[in-house]
Structure 1
């Protein structure tokens, strides 16, 4: 039995998808994926499902693209009545299983929640999310207690141009951004 199955909960839960509904009669499910590309959810064999009574560790059997969506089988689930119990649940992985990135590269989940401060030391708020756009990703900075004002700011995620420094240990991002903009 793997170490993951013996644990009661993931150390660092990271939301990667959602079980939407039953697919077929052999215990497969339809999935919504938060990964990019969407088939990236299949890169992780060990999933955690957040149930009303706590965490449930499951293992991916098979997964594939089906039309414009995804379908998967979960080991230990062999018919549609069994998988009905997991429909509607969110799918997590343990972030400690993510591959190491090159220096200067970050997972979006690492940036969410960072304090955003201008080069001049003005606290703008915290990163609430990132958005993918055609030209570049955008950081959504939401006001919070202690921030300059109550404004939400959209800052292009352009390292060295607008994002000057990221310090994950200090949970801080320094930006080259005019607070009036």
Structure 2
């Protein structure tokens, strides 16, 4: 796989469904506090079809563990249904800077994972929050590996080269 440029946009949530009959959307943010996702503008929504649209958020409120939002592009439930299942992305430049050595989950997605011996395991497909530590889900070939995201295992990350080095047995 050739080196890729670091992404300029990062996934920060998803459109979980519709809310009511006036075109509101239920949003599942990937942020620690639900309302924080509203600070990361502009949004673009990558729909299941692959189309990318840029919504204009008019109103929002916390609803359960997520948010409900009204966007200018939806006035009725039927219009909102077309947005359901889409992923919400924002420019990485809209996110607060992190201290050196810390990364947003979205920055890790797609990084090519290889062992300290140079064995390529595959790209980071997603991350899991387990309570004790986060876990990288790495898919390569016909396997899926669950690799703990801890300093003893993750030895280096090069965002520019889109690569992560891990101390991990490739047979595990």
Q: TM-score range by the shorter chain?
A: 0.7 to 0.9
Supply the distance in 1 between the matched residues of 2:93 and 2:40 (Cα, whole angstroms). Answer: 12
Cα shift at 1:69:
4.1
CA RMSD of the aligned region, Å?
A: 2.7
TM-score, with normalisation over the residues of structure 1? 0.73
TM-score, with normalisation over the residues of structure 2? 0.76
- Runs of at least 4 residues of structure 1 off by over 6 A? none
- Which residues in structure 2 correspond to 1:30-179 (within 5 Å)? 30-50=26-46, 54-74=51-71, 76=72, 80-81=75-76, 84-89=78-83, 90=86, 91-144=88-141, 150-159=142-151, 161-179=152-170
Contact preservation (8 Å) 2:41, 2:91: no
Cα shift at 1:133:
0.4
Structure scoring higher RCO (CA < 8 A, sep ≥ 6) equals: 2
Contact preservation (8 Å) 1:157, 1:163: yes
How many equivalent pairs are there? 161
Q: 1:93 to 1:138 in 2, by over 3 A?
A: same
* Unpaired segments ≥5 residues, structure 2: 1-6
* Unpaired segments ≥5 residues, structure 1: 1-10, 145-149
Supply the distance in 2 between the matched residues of 1:154 and 1:22 (Cα, whole angstroms). Answer: 35
